[in-house]
Amino acid sequence: MNEEFQPLEDIANSKTTLSQALLFMKEHRYWSETTFDSYQFDVKLFEKYLVGQGLEPTLENGQHLSLVNKWIVQQKENDVAYKTTMRRVAALSSLYSFYKDLGIVQTNAFKASSVPGEHVEPHSRTLEMDDLKKVYRAIDDFEKEAIFIGVPIKLLLFTGFRNHAIIKLKVENINWEEGLIVYNQKIRNTKNKMQVLPLPPLFMEELKKHVIERELTNEDPLCYGIKGFPLKNKQLNALVNKVNDYLNWRGGERVTPHGFRYTIATLLDERGLSVETIKYLLGHSSGTNVDLYLRRHKLKIQQIKSELTNIESELEQSLVEDKYEDNSLDREVMFKKQLNKSDGVLPFSEEFILQLSKSNPQLLEKLMMEHYH
């Protein structure tokens, strides 16, 4: 059979290069040569980027949201104009939409991505997991000084909510039984906007404690600033900047509230969640009935909750490990003093030695060696 009469899905597949895929697509579009040349230029730029990441410039390798977001950041770092970046994203989104409709690729990461404009808050880097562990540690250290910023910062991290949503949240927005937060915003002259997201279990317990200790009612705001007043306007930026200053993150290292939105999207993408599920987390859908909304998006909510719980577990575990390391030196000094007074008799109970063998075997070995030598 002559190739020009073959169905497109028979001659293109996920391993087809982007440039070749564009040529195949051209046969089914009424593009002018100028339009095609523009598309081709944009596609070749993204192919070059993929090669620079150590990947083949194929359809399947351009599906990852984390890669696409990093490419968009690179455009900004290279001082590419906002409108030019928008055009490039639109061109590649058109290509991926075409092949997604044919079932050749599974996702269109370009459609799920956003391009920071000239009049929005500064673009923020995406945090790695190790960075988030440092943020968790900073929150914990602040609490020791009676500075409570954990609730709004963790809401940023686990929900990807924008500034205006965090500020508008009230206690009544929490569904305690289901472990969900419901952002239900009525916008004049438009459809109702609703977003229903799961929260990880330990953070839910923290929210309960937060509400009880502050004696909040359903109508009270959920988030408060450093001085104990409800968050307003750009005060969330001040909280995040406090974390930046504490961690000595300067210049390009600094993170903005919007950076947490990029971060959770990238983390979930790297952990295998579909672009459609991540879009659900980041986007707003129309609706008025929460029960109907939950039934429609049940699987996405379950997938997000599972991964958020895993992320929370890693962050909490790192906090425990950090605390242990901070106290280990003091413990070691104390243990040495006890050893010097023991006259050859171990000053520790069998239960303590057993626990230490599990939690810090290196320290136990060191103490035993010093005791017997």
Q: Could you report the per-residue pLDDT of 355-370, keeping only the tens digit for each?
A: 556 656 666 665 566 5
Residue 326 lies in a domain: no
* Contact in structure between 205 and 115 (CB atoms under 8 Å): no
Rounded distance, CA 350 to CA 224, Å?
Answer: 47
Q: Residue 266: its pLDDT value, please?
A: 87
Name the pLDDT band for 78 (thresholds 50, 70, 90).
confident
Q: Residue 262: its pLDDT value, please?
A: 85
Tell me, yes or no, whether 108 and 155 share the same domain: no
Tell me, yes or no, whether 18 and 136 share the same domain: no
Closest CA to 63 of 123, 113, 124, 29: 113
Tell me, yes or no, whether 287 and 154 share the same domain: yes
Tell me, yes or no, whether 184 and 137 share the same domain: yes
Residue 191 lies in a domain: yes
Does this model's pTM top 0.75? My answer is no
Rounded distance, CA 164 to CA 167, Å?
Answer: 5
Tell me, yes or no, whether 307 and 355 share the same domain: no
- Read off the pLDDT of residues 200-231 as tens digits, 9 standing for 90 and up: 999 999 999 999 999 999 999 999 998 889 99
Tell me, yes or no, whether 175 and 71 share the same domain: no
Name the pLDDT band for 286 (thresholds 50, 70, 90).
low
Three-state SS annotation for the chain:
CCHHHCCHHHHCCCCCEHHHHHHHHHCCCCCCHHHHHHHHHHHHHHHHHHHHCCCCCECHHHCCHHHHHHHHHHHHHCCCCHHHHHHHHHHHHHHHHHHHHCCCCCCCHHHHCCCCCCCCCCCCCCCCHHHHHHHHHHHHHHHHCCCCCHHHHHHHHHHCCCHHHHHHCEHHHEECCCCEEEEEECCCCCCCEEEEEECCHHHHHHHHHHHHHHCCCCCCECCECCCCCECCCCHHHHHHHHHHHHCCCCHHHCCCHHHHHHHHHHHHHHCCCCHHHHHHHHCCEECCCHHHHHHHCHHHHHHHHHHHHHHHHHHHHHHHHHHHHHHHHHHHHHHHHHHHCCCCCCCCCHHHHHHHHHHCHHHHHHHHHHHHC
Domain span at residue 14 reads 3-112
* Contact in structure between 16 and 24 (CB atoms under 8 Å): yes
Residue 334 lies in a domain: no
If one counts the domains in the chain, the total is 3
Q: Residue 232: its pLDDT value, please?
A: 87
User: Which structure tokens are listed for 308?
Assistant: 């958020």
Closest CA to 139 of 122, 125, 157: 157
Residue 39 lies in a domain: yes
Name the pLDDT band for 107 (thresholds 50, 70, 90).
confident
Tell me, yes or no, whether 87 and 154 share the same domain: no
Tell me, yes or no, whether 222 and 103 share the same domain: no
Residue 119 lies in a domain: no
Cβ neighbour number for residue 67 with a 10 Å cutoff: 19
**Mean pLDDT confidence for 317-329:** 68
User: Which structure tokens are listed for 200?
Assistant: 């990880």
Residue 175 lies in a domain: yes
Query: With the CA atoms of 257, 260, 261 and 266 taken in that order, what torsion angle do they form, in degrees rounded to the nearest 10?
Result: 160
* Last residue in a domain, options 50, 79, 112: 112
The enclosing domain of 90 has a CATH number of: 1.10.150.130
The enclosing domain of 309 has a CATH number of: 1.10.443.10
Name the pLDDT band for 20 (thresholds 50, 70, 90).
very high
Residue 92 lies in a domain: yes
**Mean pLDDT confidence for 14-32:** 89
pLDDT of residue 113 exceeding 80: no
Residue 142 lies in a domain: yes
